[in-house]
Structure 1
């Protein structure tokens, strides 16, 4: 069968993307669209969730370094990031640069240098420079700010090359294990395993990939009286009897970078943002609502990105250790051959739920930084014609993201609940490091 792929990439200008007046508060409005631009390029490149978290982390680290060098209230990265070089310094000969301009430009420049289609960010950089000129910012300030950003981005990219990511392609390709209880590629495209060796990537804050191993998953069984069969029956029933709001929740937190819909001989490829991109946007929504200011906005995004990267490393370590079968495969084999989940099953093992680990971790860190009961409206998915959702707290949002995987038919309850516990444990460790370093 000949398959044609049609890639549908939606476009949206978020509220707040319009340029602001050049002043210390106005430049904060440039942070969110800069990060959003990274998300759009990653969506274009179909960057998988773990890799996306890595790109966000490095793109924010350079920006944070710039503002921290000019704000004595901010702690240097080496106080939190285990491997960050202590001799990482800005060229202080550039005495006329604006650190806020440099930080925003550095987000774009780091992405331009690191992302496969990073060249697409050159237009955003040029637009930022044109905007600054229109606002009568002195040419010397613009040029020196850009120079600082380029220098820092180059150092960040050099540092990123030491985290073992570039060695992944040289490792053995993954071969699905033989056995009834193990993961196997799922329809409709039967895509091969995503990042089976991600555990070898160097963590940012946590000590090792297996520092926060979750509880062992429920043991595989075909017995209709077994706990594992009952887990599958719950997923089956949840999808069959899904209420409209549950379907909306599943769709809202889908965040599958590449889903395929088939119709006859035609296959349509739909690109979406990653879970990390969704949480990065939530951070900016919260930062803007709280009016935290430029430097704290950068800090929140940096801490969130570092947390998400470590959460993915921890989660992926367990995924390929337990290597558990997906509900779609089990249900089609032993319950209903015609059953399909509401969401397309992602191409990697089931346990634990990545959304549960990452969302819980990010929510806990944001709660530490901005407080509990911080209400906000999340409009991240309106680009996919999904209505905004309002939450009373970050934890409520994370809990909904976690249970959405059951509604979507792609995760078991123990993968969700134990994934949340893993994310909270990981976040607790990160928060302790932030507290020790004096980072809020």
Structure 2
């Protein structure tokens, strides 16, 4: 028996998958239980120069015909269409599917899950969340007997590289992004990364797996890093924190204005320097999974790049190929919990609010009163002294105890209207403390 494999897409990751299929064919066959035959690679343009490892005879622009000729379809095209239609076509004719397409899974994963379940075929997507880091399988399978309560982590290598550069060199955001582009960490259009879209799609996938509840990317609260300044990063370091773009998915109990459910959010946050996430450098990813019985688990490694992502793809490919050879299939979607997906207002965390205020008596009392009006307890206050040449303004840093997101938002609006407050300079959540 031979397992026929079709690859859709021949970019950086697709090329590495082809390379591994060719250079490690004997080992892969031994692990899968049968030879893996690459029957073709679908591309949009046959004239584009490619790595010599990709045999031109394998290239085709007829992706549909290629799908019809395969036992396993590996989708590395990205985007919603035609990837979705091609995967549904593959599933419909009984082919197993391996994909790294976080955008598609985050936007319309349930359509694929249901189709694969009804067809009785495998749908694997380890590479869609954190590159080479084995994260999907542990959450979906290893922790199937436990109750996950929270997932917290860095799931976008580009933004982590940018923020790390800002912290280590003092560069502003634009300069750090340009550096990331020069090194190949960021695309020519970095919007998907710096605005948090990529991280939000991954957060939706992780939340769906962790909480057995369908979560779409539209239900993820998303804030990117475009509002983060070099001054924010410097202040964070001075006060014992690192700025990171975090994905947070957690179960929350019922409140006065919301039922128990799940909150999923992506935003910049302050992480104490003693926390392992604060030490995640360059373009690396790290994710904490908190479970009732297992406790806190950390997954760390390269979250992007051709070779790391191809490694995860090949791991899935060997698994589904083995199922084709020996019978059986992997786990199906688990959405039995059907928990409500709540607005970020239901979340609770700590906050650091930086204000530019008048440097005169009574200011602290007025600021403290605004926090008290909305039930937000202050943990610490720090004043840096005059921040203007005439000496009539000062920077005030307020760190809160854990408080509801909604109460903090109301507090910030109140502060902005005070006569003694010139500017609300920044509001950052504090996680991992």
| TM > 0.5 fold call | no
If the TM-score is normalised by the length of the shorter chain, which range does it land in?
Answer: under 0.3
TM-score (norm 1): 0.25
Q: Which structure dedicates a bigger proportion of its chain to strand?
A: 2
Higher relative contact order (CA 8 A, sep 6+): 1
